[in-house]
C-alpha cells in the first residue's frame, strides 16, 4: 500500500498550512511576541492522512506522536529542552494540555484520529470533508507557555509528528 500522505490544515479545514507558510518544508504557526511568564494564544490545527483522496487508500499512520525539535531535527533549542510547547489532543477528547519536547524519545504526546485506536490516523479514502472523515485526521490545539527566566529573542523550532506504517 502507498505511504501515508500527511497534510497540516487549519482547524476550519479551509487551508493547507504549508501553502499559507509559502514553503514545502514550512508550516505556519506564528506565535508572535510572547513575554516571559506568559502563554501564547492557542493554535488549533488538523493533521490529516490522505486528505481529500476519494479514490485511493494509503497506509494508516500508526504510533503517531507529536513533539518539538530544533530546526535541525535535534534538541538544541530552549523551546525543546525547556518544553515550552503544550498540546491538547481534541480528537482524543482531552481537556488538559501536556508538555512536549525535551531530550528523550518519550518526550512527545500520542495523537489519534476520532474513533481510532491510540496513535492511529487512518489512510482510508475520503472526500476531505471534516465531518465525514474524522478517522483521517488528528485535531490538536497547541500553545507556548514561557517561564519567568526565558531569555529574550527569537527561538526557532519545529513541530514533528513521527509515526510508523506498513
Residue ranges of the domains in the chain?
6-164
| Number of H-type helices and E-type strands within the chain | 2, 8
| pLDDT tens for each residue of 51-104 | 999 999 999 999 999 999 998 988 889 999 999 999 999 999 999 999 999 886
| Three cell numbers written together for 131 | 465531518
Q: What is the percent of the chain where pLDDT is above 70? A: 94
Angle at 147 between CA 145 and CA 148, to 5 degrees: 140
Amino acid at each position: 500500500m502507498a505511504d501515508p500522505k500527511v497534510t497540516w490544515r487549519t482547524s476550519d479545514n479551509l487551508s493547507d498550512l504549508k501553502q499559507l507558510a509559502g514553503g514545502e518544508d514550512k508550516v505556519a504557526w506564528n506565535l508572535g511576541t510572547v513575554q516571559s511568564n506568559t502563554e501564547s494564544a492557542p493554535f488549533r490545527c488538523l493533521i490529516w492522512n490522505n486528505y481529500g483522496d476519494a479514490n485511493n487508500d494509503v497506509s494508516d499512520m500508526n504510533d503517531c506522536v507529536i513533539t518539538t525539535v530544533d530546526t535541525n531535527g535535534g534538541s538544541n533549542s530552549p523551546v525543546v529542552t525547556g518544553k515550552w510547547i503544550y498540546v491538547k489532543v481534541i480528537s482524543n477528547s482531552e481537556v488538559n494540555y501536556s508538555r512536549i519536547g525535551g531530550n528523550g524519545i518519550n518526550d512527545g504526546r500520542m495523537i489519534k484520529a476520532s474513533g481510532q485506536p491510540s496513535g492511529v490516523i487512518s489512510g482510508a479514502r475520503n472526500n476531505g470533508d471534516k465531518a465525514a472523515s474524522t478517522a483521517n485526521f488528528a485535531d490538536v490545539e497547541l500553545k507556548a507557555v514561557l517561564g519567568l527566566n526565558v531569555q529574550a529573542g527569537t527561538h526557532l523550532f519545529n513541530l514533528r509528528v513521527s509515526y510508523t506504517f506498513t
